[in-house]
Amino acid sequence: MDQRRSSNLSLFLMELIMAIMFFSLSAAVCVRLFASAHILSENTKDLNNATIWSQNLAEVFTAEEGSLEKIAEHFPDAYVTIDPADPQGKEGVIILFFDEDWNMIEDSLTEGSYEAILKISVDDASRVYEDVNTYGVELSGKAAVGYIDILNIKGVSDVILDIPEDSSLIILTNQIDAYIGKEGA
């Protein structure tokens, strides 16, 4: 009888160990799913805010016809650099910094978590709009082209003043253009 009771106890303990192992594996899978959901939620929040700020920059760019000076007036806390190769000061970069909650802050990397870069260049309108020449219309004059990149700069120690080659930092990229017109007009 003692042998039979020991056998039943061993079988019960084996079942109990298997049940604990099954629940442990299930708990590990659930924790991993919750962690993945949290990361996905954070990435979605970042993409939504990046889209909003990209749209804001694009609308100001269009309203001000790509004028670096006029766009900078809309964002007084922005960091603005003018391209030294451009004597007229129409080309350059506008950089906005944001904190963890996507509130715009002064040009400070110590508190910055995100960065929006608007790089403006001026080119011949015929070159910018060469893909719409199917109507036989030749555009003359100049067009401003804006390259908008929204970056996640958490953990980055250097100030990023230009669109980075490291695409892991980029949350969203956008391009916009505006016809300026003929020189002197």
Q: Which residue, 68, 93, 82, is CA-closest to 144? A: 68
Taken in order 161, 164, 170, 175, the sign of the CA dihedral is: positive
Beta bridge partners of 116: 96, 150
Tokens 């300026």 locate to 180
Cα 97 to Cα 18, 53, 75, 166, 171, distances in angstroms = 54, 11, 11, 18, 14
Model confidence over 90-124: pLDDT tens digits? Answer: 889 999 999 889 998 875 656 788 999 999 999 88
What pLDDT is recorded for position 4? 66
Cα 89 to Cα 30, 82, 85, distances in angstroms = 56, 6, 9
- Residue 72 to residue 80: CA distance in whole angstroms: 7
User: 151, 167 in Cβ contact below 8 A?
Assistant: no
Model confidence over 124-171: pLDDT tens digits? Answer: 888 888 877 666 667 788 899 999 999 988 877 777 777 777 778 889
